[in-house]
């Protein structure tokens, strides 16, 4: 098609093709990715002067991005404490738990080195501080005991020593494939993937530990808080906890 022949109705026709006519049809997340890529391509055409305006800029394909439900802390504990005798899955488990308690994306844990461990403040706390590969924003997270335990475990690992890596991580494809296998042997009712770990970290910080949204945004290396809001869904448990505190302030034991 010529760029000049593309109008707003093209987006709906494309959506219909992907969800109804294409063999096989695509799922909602894949469809949204295709629409987003097409919009970006037309935006580039607009910027370069090939068209005067992106005709599908305001097109929205149905609902917003599907909400990713983070793991419950009990599920994280189940993964961590499960006895694993297969070495490759043990390494994958360690990397996933590392992500759950740092919020680092796959790209960033893969490139972590001992140089990214920085001592902060008068208490000499150890932090992981690194420029995020995707956004180039500095992400900084205090090293929790479970993370320190994993780092210590791989401090003498031959692969890590040769490549100056903090932990041992597979290629992205193998990592996510092994995570599906890990989910099965741990008896979870859902698939695991590297991105789920970031959502779990955001949920842990916001809903369990009561960190402010801006702090979570900084730890995740986001450019703005709006991006973090997609990760950090406020749960009923957080509202309930806050409301319990409010009731103690507003009312006496008789509810008056």
Q: What is the pLDDT of residue 97?
A: 97
pLDDT along the chain (256 residues), means of 10: 87 86 84 89 92 87 65 94 95 96 92 93 91 87 95 94 92 91 93 90 88 90 83 64 72 68
Residues 61/35, Cβ–Cβ less than 8 Å: yes
Residues in Cβ contact with 117 at an 8 Å cutoff, skipping those fewer than 6 apart: 126, 127, 128, 143, 151, 166
Q: What is the pLDDT of residue 65?
A: 55
Name the residue with tokens 């109705």. 9
Q: What is the pLDDT of residue 242?
A: 66
Cis ω before 98 (30° cut-off from 0)? no
Residues 205/215, Cβ–Cβ less than 8 Å: yes
Sheet containing 125-131: order of strands: 117-120, 125-131, 138-142
Residues 178/170, Cβ–Cβ less than 8 Å: yes
Q: Which helix (H) or strand (E) holds 37?
A: helix 28-47
How many residues does the structure list for the chain?
Answer: 256
Q: What is the pLDDT of residue 208?
A: 83
């Amino acid at each position: 098609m010529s760029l000049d022949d593309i109008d707003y109705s093209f987006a709906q026709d494309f959506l219909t093709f992907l969800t109804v006519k294409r063999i096989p049809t695509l799922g909602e997340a894949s469809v949204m990715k295709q629409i987003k890529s097409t919009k970006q391509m037309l935006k580039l055409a607009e910027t370069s002067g090939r068209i005067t305006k992106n005709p599908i800029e305001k097109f929205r394909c149905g609902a917003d991005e599907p909400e990713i439900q983070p793991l419950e802390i009990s599920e994280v504990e189940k993964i961590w404490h499960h006895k694993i005798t297969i070495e490759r899955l043990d390494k994958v488990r360690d990397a996933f738990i590392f992500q759950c308690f740092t919020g680092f994306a796959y790209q960033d844990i893969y490139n972590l080195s001992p140089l990214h461990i920085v001592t902060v403040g008068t208490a000499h706390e150890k932090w992981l501080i690194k420029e995020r590969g995707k956004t180039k924003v500095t992400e900084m997270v205090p090293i929790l005991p479970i993370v320190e335990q994993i780092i210590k475990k791989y401090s003498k690992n031959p692969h890590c020593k040769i490549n100056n890596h903090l932990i041992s991580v597979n290629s992205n494809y193998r990592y996510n494939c092994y995570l599906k296998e890990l989910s099965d042997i741990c008896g979870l009712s859902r698939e695991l993937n590297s991105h789920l770990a970031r959502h779990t970290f955001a949920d842990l910080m916001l809903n369990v530990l009561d960190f402010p949204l801006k702090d979570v945004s900084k730890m995740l290396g986001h450019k703005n808080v709006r991006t973090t809001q997609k990760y950090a869904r406020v749960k009923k448990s957080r509202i309930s906890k806050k409301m319990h505190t409010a009731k103690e302030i507003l009312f006496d034991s008789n509810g008056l």
